[in-house]
Amino acid sequence: MRRVDEAIRQVIGDAVSGEVKDPRVGFITVTDVRTSADLRHARVYVSVLGNAAQREASLDGLRSAHGFLQARVAGELRLKRTPMLEFSYDDTTDRAMRVDALIDEIGSS
């Protein structure tokens, strides 16, 4: 399953960086993809450079480009079934920065 996840991540990352023309989609990095065991669903985790409004606009743009991106996955990868894509924000960086700030706060006390 990891190979399928990585292949989908690569295809979507390439398409987002060069072919998605929606102006709402800002600087996005596809960080991870998790597909269900039956390949019916795939959750695509993305990180977005910018504030909360830019993040939400970028996610809306990705959701709007859902059909195009799903067609790209179907065309590039020969899978038994093309998964339904769902886009989610990856908050790992935000959590790491929060922990770092808490550590700095404790260290300065």
Domain ranges, ordered by start, for the chain: 2-108
CATH topology (fold) of 2-108: GMP Synthetase; Chain A, domain 3 (3.30.300)
Q: What H or E segment, with its residue span, contains residue 46?
A: strand 41-48
Q: Using DSSP, state whether 97 is helix, strand or coil.
A: helix
In the chain, where does DSSP find H-type helix? 2-18, 52-64, 66-76, 92-108
| pTM of the predicted model as reported, rounded to 2 decimal places | 0.84
Tens digit of each residue's pLDDT (9 = 90 or more) over 32-41: 999 999 999 9
What percent of the chain has a predicted confidence (pLDDT) above 90? 61
Asked if residues 16 and 29 have their Cβ atoms less than 8 Å apart, the reply is no
Tens digit of each residue's pLDDT (9 = 90 or more) over 60-101: 999 999 999 999 999 999 888 899 999 999 888 778 888 888
